[in-house]
Amino acid sequence: MDWLQGMNDVVGYIELNLTQPIQYESLSRIVGCSVYEFSRIFSFMAGMSISEYIRRRRLSQAVFDIQSGDEKIIDIALKYCYKSPTTFSRAFKELHGTTPLSARKMSVSLKTYPPITFALTIKGVIRMDFRIEKKGSFKIIGYACADANGSDWTRFMADYNKQLWNGSEWNGPDSYYRAPFWQVGAYKFKTKENENGCIIGAELGNKSVLNGMDVETVPAATWTVFTITSKSGGKEAGEAYARIFSEWFPASQYTRNENAPTLEVYLPGDANSDLYQWEVWVPILSK
């Protein structure tokens, strides 16, 4: 499927299901990637998370229901998948700056967020550095998290270095670290509230499991490994995923292997440089 059309089909699917529970797996399946990959691409392209977009669309439509009739607020809340009128009123006020009851007044200023549309943007030709790797099954030791952030990484790297190197202190995120660190978009760490479940850690190898850490088994697979040079992993990560699925896959002879997770590998850093290289590993199958 055309990737751009797939993203617009996702928007259409959301519009048809604003009053129904929306599973992120259903959305990612439309595009043909994992939930982890889809959430990163969507956030980069739309400027907000998929959960925030759905929230805004539901609360935008709720305004019209509130103003167009005498339907009870509790019924409108349940219609748009809120479990209680209290939760609905809190979210409504956060977005619109007023309560649902006040929104029934004609003079009240409210907000609306129309459905987005993804369009093609022509950019200059930028090379994509990649290689093909085959790797057997291996284990990642680390911390499971709903959505990895800087504090999760700092916690893991400090604990990992301290335990692995006999209590030696780690001097913070800008210091040199001594092993490749992995971030795995793992299904079992997703929650109902967050679509970005993952585990951050290091390859276990023949080392012992460290106290309090989780273990994720990555299956054997063939991977396309994309190398990215950047100052941070935020904006660059979303852009990298968008290019991989909108540019590389359509031009290649591969499809995504849906039986393995996406990996990100953060290579040992250099404290004297403000740039570092990291990798996105996408599991593939030949067409």
Residues 65 and 198 in one domain: no
Residues 47 and 94 in one domain: yes
Residues 80 and 151 in one domain: no
Q: Would 124 be classed as within a structural domain?
A: no
pLDDT of 22 reads: 94
Pick the closest to residue 116 from 50, 21, 27 (CA basis). 50
State whether residue 285 is helix, strand or coil. strand
Residues 171 and 282 in one domain: yes
Q: Would 112 be classed as within a structural domain?
A: no
Residues 139 and 76 in one domain: no
Residues 156 and 244 in one domain: yes
The tokens for 39 are: 């959430």
pLDDT of 90 reads: 93
pLDDT of 172 reads: 44
| Amino acid code (one letter) for 225 | V
pLDDT of 221 reads: 93
CA 43, CA 53: separation in Å to the nearest integer? 9
Number of domains in the chain: 2
The CATH number for 75's domain is 1.10.10.60
Q: Would 115 be classed as within a structural domain?
A: no
Residues 134 and 99 in one domain: no
Residues 147 and 79 in one domain: no
pLDDT of 225 reads: 92
Q: Would 209 be classed as within a structural domain?
A: yes
Residues 178 and 255 in one domain: yes
State whether residue 199 is helix, strand or coil. strand
Q: What is the pLDDT of residues 126-175, one digit of tens each?
A: 677 889 999 999 888 877 776 666 566 677 777 776 665 554 444 444 44
Half-sphere exposure of 126 (CA within 13 A, CB side): 9
From residue 45, alpha-carbon distances to 41, 95, 226, 261 in Å are 6, 21, 20, 22
pLDDT of 91 reads: 94
Q: Would 111 be classed as within a structural domain?
A: no
Range of the domain at 77: 3-104
Residue-wise burial string across 16-52, b where 16 or more C-beta atoms lie within 10 A, e elsewhere: eebeeebebeebbbbbbbbbbbbbbbbbbbbeebbbe
Q: Which residues of the chain have pLDDT under 70?
A: 1, 120-126, 146-153, 161-181, 185-197, 207, 209-210, 231-235, 268-276, 287
Residues 147 and 277 in one domain: yes
* Beta-bridge partner residues of 141: 202, 215
Q: Would 110 be classed as within a structural domain?
A: no
CA 229, CA 242: separation in Å to the nearest integer? 16
Residues 29 and 69: beta-carbon distance below 8 Å:
no
The CATH number for 222's domain is 3.20.80.10
State whether residue 276 is helix, strand or coil. strand
Residues 169 and 275 in one domain: yes
